[in-house]
Chains A and B, each alone.
Chain A
Amino acid sequence: MVCESWKAKLDTYLDGELTEQETRTFDAHVRGCPSCSADALARVQMKRTIQMAGKRFTPSAEFRSRIQQKIASKPERRFYPAWMLVTAAAAVFVAAALTSTYVANRSAGNLAYREHVFSEIADLHVATLASSSPVDVISSDRHTVKPWFQGKIPFAFNLPELQNSEFSLVGGSMAYLDQTPGAHLIYDVRKHHISVFVFEERSLNSPASIGDNALSPKNLPFNTTTWSHGGLRYFVIGDASLADIEHLAKLFKESS
Protein backbone atom coordinates (compact mmCIF):
# COMPACT_ATOMS: atom_id res chain seq x y z
CA MET A 1 0.00 0.00 0.00
CA VAL A 2 1.21 3.42 -0.77
CA CYS A 3 0.66 6.55 1.33
CA GLU A 4 0.10 4.65 4.59
CA SER A 5 0.93 7.62 6.74
CA TRP A 6 -1.43 9.84 4.80
CA LYS A 7 -4.26 7.35 4.90
CA ALA A 8 -3.95 6.96 8.63
CA LYS A 9 -4.97 10.60 8.90
CA LEU A 10 -7.45 10.63 6.07
CA ASP A 11 -10.55 10.48 8.31
CA THR A 12 -9.25 13.21 10.58
CA TYR A 13 -8.60 15.29 7.49
CA LEU A 14 -12.12 14.73 6.17
CA ASP A 15 -13.60 15.47 9.59
CA GLY A 16 -11.93 18.87 9.36
CA GLU A 17 -9.89 18.25 12.47
CA LEU A 18 -6.37 18.76 11.16
CA THR A 19 -4.63 22.04 11.81
CA GLU A 20 -4.75 24.65 9.10
CA GLN A 21 -1.17 23.93 8.16
CA GLU A 22 -1.72 20.16 8.03
CA THR A 23 -4.90 20.64 6.04
CA ARG A 24 -3.09 22.67 3.41
CA THR A 25 -0.37 20.04 3.11
CA PHE A 26 -3.02 17.34 2.90
CA ASP A 27 -4.97 19.23 0.22
CA ALA A 28 -1.87 19.41 -1.91
CA HIS A 29 -1.10 15.73 -1.45
CA VAL A 30 -4.63 14.53 -2.18
CA ARG A 31 -4.80 16.58 -5.35
CA GLY A 32 -1.66 14.94 -6.65
CA CYS A 33 -2.23 11.39 -5.42
CA PRO A 34 -4.79 9.27 -7.30
CA SER A 35 -4.87 6.62 -4.60
CA CYS A 36 -5.53 9.05 -1.76
CA SER A 37 -8.03 11.11 -3.73
CA ALA A 38 -10.02 7.99 -4.65
CA ASP A 39 -9.94 6.92 -1.03
CA ALA A 40 -11.01 10.37 0.12
CA LEU A 41 -13.90 10.40 -2.32
CA ALA A 42 -15.11 7.01 -1.15
CA ARG A 43 -14.94 8.06 2.48
CA VAL A 44 -16.77 11.31 1.82
CA GLN A 45 -19.53 9.34 0.15
CA MET A 46 -19.68 7.02 3.09
CA LYS A 47 -19.92 9.96 5.47
CA ARG A 48 -22.82 11.35 3.46
CA THR A 49 -24.59 8.01 3.42
CA ILE A 50 -24.27 7.70 7.18
CA GLN A 51 -25.53 11.24 7.56
CA MET A 52 -28.58 10.54 5.40
CA ALA A 53 -29.29 7.21 7.05
CA GLY A 54 -28.76 8.71 10.48
CA LYS A 55 -31.33 11.47 10.12
CA ARG A 56 -34.18 9.12 10.37
CA PHE A 57 -36.55 9.76 13.23
CA THR A 58 -38.81 12.78 13.56
CA PRO A 59 -40.75 13.57 16.72
CA SER A 60 -44.48 14.21 16.53
CA ALA A 61 -45.84 17.73 16.87
CA GLU A 62 -47.80 16.53 19.87
CA PHE A 63 -44.62 15.40 21.61
CA ARG A 64 -42.91 18.67 20.81
CA SER A 65 -45.71 20.72 22.38
CA ARG A 66 -45.71 18.40 25.39
CA ILE A 67 -42.02 19.11 25.97
CA GLN A 68 -42.50 22.79 25.34
CA GLN A 69 -45.25 22.92 27.93
CA LYS A 70 -43.11 21.00 30.35
CA ILE A 71 -40.27 23.43 30.22
CA ALA A 72 -42.41 26.54 29.87
CA SER A 73 -44.78 25.69 32.70
CA LYS A 74 -42.00 25.60 35.26
CA PRO A 75 -41.16 29.16 36.13
CA GLU A 76 -37.81 28.92 37.81
CA ARG A 77 -38.23 30.78 41.03
CA ARG A 78 -36.29 28.38 43.17
CA PHE A 79 -32.95 30.02 42.80
CA TYR A 80 -33.39 33.01 45.03
CA PRO A 81 -30.14 34.76 45.54
CA ALA A 82 -28.63 33.65 48.84
CA TRP A 83 -28.25 37.21 50.03
CA MET A 84 -31.99 37.60 50.16
CA LEU A 85 -32.08 35.00 52.87
CA VAL A 86 -29.18 36.36 54.88
CA THR A 87 -31.02 38.80 57.10
CA ALA A 88 -34.53 40.04 57.51
CA ALA A 89 -33.21 43.55 57.22
CA ALA A 90 -31.80 42.83 53.81
CA ALA A 91 -35.13 41.34 52.79
CA VAL A 92 -36.97 44.40 54.01
CA PHE A 93 -34.54 46.61 52.16
CA VAL A 94 -35.07 44.63 48.98
CA ALA A 95 -38.82 44.71 49.41
CA ALA A 96 -38.71 48.45 49.90
CA ALA A 97 -36.53 48.89 46.85
CA LEU A 98 -38.82 46.71 44.78
CA THR A 99 -41.88 48.52 46.05
CA SER A 100 -40.51 51.93 45.21
CA THR A 101 -39.53 50.68 41.78
CA TYR A 102 -43.03 49.28 41.36
CA VAL A 103 -44.59 52.52 42.48
CA ALA A 104 -42.29 54.50 40.21
CA ASN A 105 -43.24 52.23 37.32
CA ARG A 106 -46.87 52.55 38.18
CA SER A 107 -46.87 56.31 38.35
CA ALA A 108 -44.85 56.38 35.16
CA GLY A 109 -47.59 54.21 33.66
CA ASN A 110 -50.28 56.55 34.98
CA LEU A 111 -48.52 59.54 33.53
CA ALA A 112 -48.14 57.77 30.24
CA TYR A 113 -51.84 56.94 30.19
CA ARG A 114 -52.82 60.52 30.98
CA GLU A 115 -50.61 61.81 28.20
CA HIS A 116 -52.11 59.22 25.89
CA VAL A 117 -55.67 60.26 26.75
CA PHE A 118 -55.01 63.95 26.24
CA SER A 119 -53.25 63.32 23.00
CA GLU A 120 -56.22 61.22 21.80
CA ILE A 121 -58.65 63.94 22.84
CA ALA A 122 -56.60 66.56 21.02
CA ASP A 123 -56.52 64.36 17.90
CA LEU A 124 -60.29 63.89 18.04
CA HIS A 125 -60.78 67.61 18.46
CA VAL A 126 -58.51 68.54 15.53
CA ALA A 127 -59.72 65.78 13.25
CA THR A 128 -63.34 66.71 13.82
CA LEU A 129 -62.78 70.39 13.15
CA ALA A 130 -60.81 69.57 10.02
CA SER A 131 -63.66 67.48 8.71
CA SER A 132 -66.08 68.95 6.21
CA SER A 133 -68.92 67.82 8.43
CA PRO A 134 -67.65 68.20 11.98
CA VAL A 135 -70.98 67.39 13.55
CA ASP A 136 -73.60 64.76 12.78
CA VAL A 137 -76.37 66.59 14.54
CA ILE A 138 -76.35 70.29 13.74
CA SER A 139 -78.32 72.29 16.21
CA SER A 140 -77.90 75.05 18.67
CA ASP A 141 -80.75 73.57 20.65
CA ARG A 142 -79.62 71.28 23.43
CA HIS A 143 -83.05 69.65 23.38
CA THR A 144 -82.29 68.48 19.86
CA VAL A 145 -78.69 67.45 20.39
CA LYS A 146 -79.15 65.51 23.59
CA PRO A 147 -81.85 63.11 22.33
CA TRP A 148 -79.76 62.44 19.20
CA PHE A 149 -77.32 60.47 21.36
CA GLN A 150 -80.06 58.19 22.67
CA GLY A 151 -79.33 54.60 21.66
CA LYS A 152 -75.92 55.60 20.33
CA ILE A 153 -74.03 55.80 23.60
CA PRO A 154 -74.59 53.65 26.69
CA PHE A 155 -75.26 56.56 29.07
CA ALA A 156 -77.17 59.83 29.39
CA PHE A 157 -75.85 63.26 30.28
CA ASN A 158 -77.10 66.81 30.60
CA LEU A 159 -76.19 69.75 28.43
CA PRO A 160 -75.94 73.18 30.06
CA GLU A 161 -78.29 76.09 29.54
CA LEU A 162 -76.30 78.62 27.53
CA GLN A 163 -78.56 81.62 27.71
CA ASN A 164 -76.76 84.68 29.03
CA SER A 165 -73.42 83.20 28.08
CA GLU A 166 -71.07 83.77 25.18
CA PHE A 167 -71.12 80.09 24.25
CA SER A 168 -73.19 78.61 21.50
CA LEU A 169 -73.78 74.96 20.72
CA VAL A 170 -72.79 73.92 17.20
CA GLY A 171 -73.77 70.28 17.33
CA GLY A 172 -72.59 66.85 18.26
CA SER A 173 -71.21 63.57 16.98
CA MET A 174 -69.99 60.22 18.22
CA ALA A 175 -66.45 59.83 19.50
CA TYR A 176 -64.38 56.84 20.59
CA LEU A 177 -61.73 56.60 23.25
CA ASP A 178 -60.15 53.32 24.36
CA GLN A 179 -62.60 51.62 21.98
CA THR A 180 -65.54 52.93 23.96
CA PRO A 181 -68.23 55.21 22.51
CA GLY A 182 -68.90 58.65 23.87
CA ALA A 183 -70.35 62.03 22.99
CA HIS A 184 -68.48 64.80 21.25
CA LEU A 185 -70.06 68.28 21.48
CA ILE A 186 -68.79 71.38 19.76
CA TYR A 187 -69.28 74.84 21.14
CA ASP A 188 -68.29 78.21 19.75
CA VAL A 189 -67.08 81.13 21.71
CA ARG A 190 -65.92 84.26 19.90
CA LYS A 191 -64.96 82.32 16.73
CA HIS A 192 -63.12 79.71 18.78
CA HIS A 193 -64.24 76.12 18.67
CA ILE A 194 -64.28 74.12 21.85
CA SER A 195 -64.84 70.39 22.08
CA VAL A 196 -66.48 68.72 25.00
CA PHE A 197 -66.12 64.96 25.26
CA VAL A 198 -68.14 62.76 27.55
CA PHE A 199 -67.24 59.12 28.18
CA GLU A 200 -68.38 56.52 30.60
CA GLU A 201 -65.57 56.43 33.14
CA ARG A 202 -65.64 52.68 33.84
CA SER A 203 -65.10 51.95 30.15
CA LEU A 204 -61.79 53.77 30.07
CA ASN A 205 -58.60 51.79 30.57
CA SER A 206 -57.24 53.66 33.56
CA PRO A 207 -59.69 56.39 34.59
CA ALA A 208 -58.17 56.90 38.03
CA SER A 209 -54.89 58.00 36.51
CA ILE A 210 -56.42 60.87 34.58
CA GLY A 211 -57.20 62.96 37.65
CA ASP A 212 -59.27 66.08 37.77
CA ASN A 213 -58.52 69.57 36.51
CA ALA A 214 -55.60 68.21 34.61
CA LEU A 215 -54.07 71.04 32.71
CA SER A 216 -52.56 70.74 29.28
CA PRO A 217 -49.85 68.18 29.34
CA LYS A 218 -46.60 69.18 27.73
CA ASN A 219 -46.55 69.76 23.99
CA LEU A 220 -50.31 70.04 23.69
CA PRO A 221 -51.17 73.32 21.96
CA PHE A 222 -54.62 73.54 23.53
CA ASN A 223 -56.17 74.48 26.79
CA THR A 224 -57.89 71.59 28.45
CA THR A 225 -59.65 70.58 31.56
CA THR A 226 -61.18 67.35 32.73
CA TRP A 227 -63.26 66.09 35.59
CA SER A 228 -65.35 63.18 36.61
CA HIS A 229 -68.93 63.30 37.78
CA GLY A 230 -71.64 60.70 38.18
CA GLY A 231 -69.56 57.96 36.56
CA LEU A 232 -68.88 60.12 33.51
CA ARG A 233 -65.57 61.58 32.44
CA TYR A 234 -65.65 65.01 30.84
CA PHE A 235 -62.95 66.64 28.75
CA VAL A 236 -63.03 70.21 27.47
CA ILE A 237 -60.42 71.17 24.92
CA GLY A 238 -59.91 74.10 22.53
CA ASP A 239 -57.76 76.97 21.46
CA ALA A 240 -59.92 79.42 23.43
CA SER A 241 -58.48 80.94 26.57
CA LEU A 242 -58.22 78.82 29.66
CA ALA A 243 -60.80 81.09 31.26
CA ASP A 244 -63.32 80.24 28.53
CA ILE A 245 -62.52 76.54 28.85
CA GLU A 246 -62.99 76.67 32.61
CA HIS A 247 -66.18 78.68 32.19
CA LEU A 248 -67.73 76.12 29.87
CA ALA A 249 -66.63 73.38 32.25
CA LYS A 250 -68.34 75.22 35.08
CA LEU A 251 -71.59 75.42 33.10
CA PHE A 252 -71.43 71.67 32.49
CA LYS A 253 -70.74 70.93 36.14
CA GLU A 254 -73.71 73.04 37.17
CA SER A 255 -76.07 71.31 34.77
CA SER A 256 -75.13 67.76 35.71
Chain B
Amino acid sequence: MGNEPATESFEQLAMPHFERLYNFACWLSHDRDEAEDLVQETYVKALRGFSSFQPGTNFRAWIYKILRNTFLTSRTGLQATATVPLDLESGGESLPATNETPESILLQRSDGQLVRRALEQLPVFHREVLLLCEVEEMSYQEISATLDIPIGTVMSRLSRARKALRDGLGPRV
Protein backbone atom coordinates (compact mmCIF):
# COMPACT_ATOMS: atom_id res chain seq x y z
CA MET B 1 0.00 0.00 0.00
CA GLY B 2 3.03 2.24 0.43
CA ASN B 3 2.89 3.68 -3.07
CA GLU B 4 -0.82 4.04 -3.35
CA PRO B 5 -1.36 7.39 -1.67
CA ALA B 6 0.94 8.97 -4.28
CA THR B 7 -1.84 9.53 -6.83
CA GLU B 8 -4.33 10.65 -4.25
CA SER B 9 -2.02 13.03 -2.63
CA PHE B 10 -1.06 14.49 -6.00
CA GLU B 11 -4.68 15.44 -6.59
CA GLN B 12 -5.01 16.68 -3.05
CA LEU B 13 -1.86 18.76 -3.36
CA ALA B 14 -2.43 20.01 -6.87
CA MET B 15 -6.12 20.86 -7.15
CA PRO B 16 -6.16 23.62 -4.51
CA HIS B 17 -3.80 25.60 -6.77
CA PHE B 18 -5.91 25.12 -9.87
CA GLU B 19 -7.66 28.48 -9.99
CA ARG B 20 -4.57 30.47 -9.12
CA LEU B 21 -2.47 28.61 -11.64
CA TYR B 22 -5.03 29.36 -14.29
CA ASN B 23 -5.05 33.03 -13.33
CA PHE B 24 -1.26 33.12 -13.42
CA ALA B 25 -1.25 31.35 -16.78
CA CYS B 26 -3.67 33.93 -18.19
CA TRP B 27 -1.42 36.72 -17.02
CA LEU B 28 1.60 35.11 -18.59
CA SER B 29 0.06 34.24 -21.93
CA HIS B 30 -2.59 36.97 -22.29
CA ASP B 31 -4.86 34.36 -23.81
CA ARG B 32 -7.44 32.13 -22.14
CA ASP B 33 -7.17 29.23 -24.57
CA GLU B 34 -3.45 29.24 -24.31
CA ALA B 35 -3.73 29.44 -20.54
CA GLU B 36 -5.90 26.33 -20.52
CA ASP B 37 -3.31 24.50 -22.60
CA LEU B 38 -0.59 25.68 -20.25
CA VAL B 39 -2.42 24.58 -17.13
CA GLN B 40 -3.33 21.24 -18.64
CA GLU B 41 0.23 20.60 -19.71
CA THR B 42 1.43 21.66 -16.28
CA TYR B 43 -0.81 19.16 -14.52
CA VAL B 44 0.15 16.36 -16.86
CA LYS B 45 3.85 17.11 -16.45
CA ALA B 46 3.52 17.48 -12.70
CA LEU B 47 1.68 14.19 -12.37
CA ARG B 48 4.25 12.45 -14.52
CA GLY B 49 7.11 13.92 -12.53
CA PHE B 50 5.44 13.65 -9.16
CA SER B 51 7.84 10.95 -8.08
CA SER B 52 10.65 13.50 -8.33
CA PHE B 53 8.83 15.89 -6.02
CA GLN B 54 10.31 15.70 -2.57
CA PRO B 55 7.63 15.54 0.09
CA GLY B 56 8.04 18.26 2.64
CA THR B 57 9.39 20.75 0.11
CA ASN B 58 7.25 23.51 -1.32
CA PHE B 59 4.68 22.00 -3.67
CA ARG B 60 3.30 25.35 -4.75
CA ALA B 61 6.70 26.61 -5.83
CA TRP B 62 7.27 23.30 -7.61
CA ILE B 63 4.08 23.37 -9.67
CA TYR B 64 4.35 27.10 -10.44
CA LYS B 65 7.84 26.46 -11.68
CA ILE B 66 6.55 23.78 -14.03
CA LEU B 67 3.88 26.14 -15.33
CA ARG B 68 6.38 28.92 -15.82
CA ASN B 69 8.91 26.71 -17.59
CA THR B 70 6.15 25.37 -19.81
CA PHE B 71 5.22 28.93 -20.66
CA LEU B 72 8.78 30.07 -21.30
CA THR B 73 9.33 27.27 -23.80
CA SER B 74 6.04 27.94 -25.59
CA ARG B 75 5.91 30.12 -28.66
CA THR B 76 4.28 32.97 -26.77
CA GLY B 77 6.80 32.59 -23.99
CA LEU B 78 9.74 32.69 -26.33
CA GLN B 79 8.35 35.80 -28.02
CA ALA B 80 7.73 37.46 -24.68
CA THR B 81 11.21 36.81 -23.37
CA ALA B 82 12.81 37.93 -26.62
CA THR B 83 11.85 41.50 -25.77
CA VAL B 84 13.26 41.58 -22.25
CA PRO B 85 14.97 44.89 -21.63
CA LEU B 86 18.71 44.62 -21.29
CA ASP B 87 18.85 46.35 -17.95
CA LEU B 88 16.53 43.88 -16.30
CA GLU B 89 19.08 42.04 -14.25
CA SER B 90 21.96 44.49 -14.37
CA GLY B 91 22.84 46.46 -11.32
CA GLY B 92 22.78 43.53 -8.95
CA GLU B 93 21.67 44.41 -5.48
CA SER B 94 21.62 48.15 -5.98
CA LEU B 95 18.12 49.45 -5.75
CA PRO B 96 16.76 52.10 -8.04
CA ALA B 97 16.62 55.57 -6.63
CA THR B 98 13.18 56.42 -5.37
CA ASN B 99 12.26 59.69 -6.94
CA GLU B 100 8.59 59.22 -6.24
CA THR B 101 6.99 61.13 -3.45
CA PRO B 102 4.28 59.50 -1.37
CA GLU B 103 1.85 61.83 -3.08
CA SER B 104 2.77 60.68 -6.54
CA ILE B 105 2.40 57.06 -5.51
CA LEU B 106 -0.90 57.83 -3.84
CA LEU B 107 -2.17 59.45 -6.98
CA GLN B 108 -1.57 56.24 -8.90
CA ARG B 109 -2.79 53.94 -6.23
CA SER B 110 -6.38 53.05 -6.57
CA ASP B 111 -7.28 52.89 -10.19
CA GLY B 112 -7.53 49.15 -10.77
CA GLN B 113 -8.09 49.60 -14.49
CA LEU B 114 -4.90 51.54 -14.90
CA VAL B 115 -2.92 49.17 -12.73
CA ARG B 116 -4.18 46.22 -14.70
CA ARG B 117 -3.22 47.82 -17.97
CA ALA B 118 0.17 48.78 -16.60
CA LEU B 119 0.71 45.20 -15.42
CA GLU B 120 -0.12 43.90 -18.87
CA GLN B 121 2.44 46.23 -20.38
CA LEU B 122 5.24 45.05 -18.10
CA PRO B 123 7.86 42.71 -19.50
CA VAL B 124 7.10 39.15 -18.49
CA PHE B 125 9.91 38.87 -15.92
CA HIS B 126 8.64 41.93 -14.10
CA ARG B 127 5.02 40.91 -14.39
CA GLU B 128 5.53 37.42 -13.04
CA VAL B 129 7.58 38.49 -10.03
CA LEU B 130 5.00 41.09 -9.07
CA LEU B 131 2.15 38.62 -9.45
CA LEU B 132 3.91 35.98 -7.38
CA CYS B 133 4.59 38.51 -4.66
CA GLU B 134 1.39 40.53 -4.58
CA VAL B 135 -1.27 38.18 -5.92
CA GLU B 136 0.07 34.81 -4.84
CA GLU B 137 1.58 36.35 -1.73
CA MET B 138 4.62 34.13 -2.00
CA SER B 139 7.59 34.70 0.26
CA TYR B 140 10.89 35.72 -1.32
CA GLN B 141 12.05 32.20 -0.61
CA GLU B 142 9.16 30.70 -2.58
CA ILE B 143 9.61 33.15 -5.42
CA SER B 144 13.28 32.26 -5.48
CA ALA B 145 12.40 28.56 -5.77
CA THR B 146 9.73 29.20 -8.41
CA LEU B 147 11.85 31.41 -10.63
CA ASP B 148 15.08 29.58 -9.89
CA ILE B 149 16.94 32.73 -8.98
CA PRO B 150 18.74 33.79 -5.78
CA ILE B 151 16.79 35.74 -3.16
CA GLY B 152 18.92 38.83 -3.81
CA THR B 153 17.82 38.77 -7.42
CA VAL B 154 14.20 38.33 -6.33
CA MET B 155 14.52 41.52 -4.29
CA SER B 156 16.16 43.57 -6.99
CA ARG B 157 13.81 42.28 -9.65
CA LEU B 158 10.81 43.05 -7.49
CA SER B 159 12.12 46.51 -6.85
CA ARG B 160 12.60 47.14 -10.54
CA ALA B 161 9.23 45.69 -11.35
CA ARG B 162 7.56 48.02 -8.88
CA LYS B 163 9.36 50.98 -10.28
CA ALA B 164 8.47 49.95 -13.81
CA LEU B 165 4.84 49.66 -12.82
CA ARG B 166 4.86 53.11 -11.27
CA ASP B 167 6.57 54.48 -14.35
CA GLY B 168 3.93 52.82 -16.46
CA LEU B 169 1.22 54.45 -14.43
CA GLY B 170 2.90 57.83 -14.28
CA PRO B 171 2.09 59.33 -17.67
CA ARG B 172 -1.57 58.39 -17.47
CA VAL B 173 -2.22 60.04 -14.13
Within the complex, the shortest CB–CB distance from B66 to chain A, in Å, comes to 13
Within the complex, the shortest CB–CB distance from A127 to chain B, in Å, comes to 40
For residue A250, CB closer than 8 A to chain B, the reply is: no
Give the distance in Å from the alpha carbon of A249 to the alpha carbon of B11 in the complex: 56
- Which of A54-62, A198-206, A235-243 touches B? A54-62
Contacts A7-B98, A57-B22, A64-B18; is A46 near B105 (CB within 8 Å)? yes
Within 8 A of B (CB), among A179-203: none
Residues in A whose Cβ lies below 8 Å from that of B11: 68, 71-72
For residue A151, CB closer than 8 A to chain B, the reply is: no
Residues in B whose Cβ lies below 8 Å from that of A42: 102-103, 105-106, 109
Contacts A64-B18, A72-B11, A75-B7; is A52 near B112 (CB within 8 Å)? yes
Q: Is the CB of B115 within 8 A of A63?
A: no
Q: Is the CB of A59 within 8 A of B22?
A: yes
Residues in B whose Cβ lies below 8 Å from that of A132: none
Pick from B22, B113, B115, B158: contact of A11, CB below 8 A. B158
Q: Is the CB of A53 within 8 A of B115?
A: yes
Give the distance in Å from the alpha carbon of A11 to the alpha carbon of B166 in the complex: 14
Give the distance in Å from the alpha carbon of A59 to the alpha carbon of B18 in the complex: 8
Q: Is the CB of B35 within 8 A of A57?
A: yes
Give the distance in Å from the alpha carbon of A238 to the alpha carbon of B130 in the complex: 78
Interface residues on A, range: 35 or more
Residues 79-123 of chain B, each 1 if its beta carbon lies under 8 Å from chain A, else 0: 000000000000000010010001101101111110110010000
Q: Is the CB of B40 within 8 A of A49?
A: no
Pick from A54, A75, A79: contact of B27, CB below 8 A. A54
Contacts A70-B40, A81-B3; is A54 near B119 (CB within 8 Å)? yes
Within the complex, the shortest CB–CB distance from B45 to chain A, in Å, comes to 11
Q: Is the CB of A54 within 8 A of B35?
A: no
Pick from A50, A67, A79: contact of B130, CB below 8 A. A50
Q: Is the CB of B140 within 8 A of A57?
A: no
For residue B47, CB closer than 8 A to chain A, the reply is: yes
Pick from B10, B23, B103, B134: contact of A47, CB below 8 A. B134
Q: Is the CB of A71 within 8 A of B14?
A: yes
Interface size on B, residues (CB 8 A): 52
Residues in A whose Cβ lies below 8 Å from that of B164: none
Within the complex, the shortest CB–CB distance from A20 to chain B, in Å, comes to 15
Within 8 A of B (CB), among A70-119: 70-72, 74-76, 79, 81
Q: Is the CB of A67 within 8 A of B18?
A: yes
Give the distance in Å from the alpha carbon of A56 to the alpha carbon of B11 in the complex: 24
Q: Is the CB of B134 within 8 A of A51?
A: yes
For residue A28, CB closer than 8 A to chain B, the reply is: no
Instruction: Provide a sorted-by-A list of 28 A–B residue pairs whose CB atoms are within 8 angstroms.
Output: A11-B162, A15-B158, A35-B102, A38-B102, A41-B102, A46-B105, A46-B109, A49-B110, A49-B111, A50-B115, A51-B134, A52-B112, A53-B115, A53-B119, A56-B23, A56-B116, A57-B22, A57-B23, A57-B27, A57-B32, A63-B39, A70-B40, A71-B47, A76-B6, A76-B7, A76-B47, A76-B50, A79-B51
B residues adjacent to A (C-beta < 8 A): 3, 6-7, 10-11, 14-15, 18-19, 22-23, 26-27, 32, 35-36, 39-40, 43-44, 47, 50-51, 95, 98, 102-103, 105-106, 108-113, 115-116, 119, 130-131, 133-135, 137, 139-140, 155, 158-159, 162, 165-166
Extra inter-chain contacts (9) besides given A54-B119, A57-B26, CB under 8 Å: A38-B102, A53-B119, A57-B32, A58-B19, A66-B40, A67-B40, A71-B43, A76-B47, A81-B3
A residues adjacent to B (C-beta < 8 A): 1, 7-8, 11-12, 15-17, 35, 38-39, 41-43, 45-47, 49-59, 63-64, 66-68, 70-72, 74-76, 79, 81
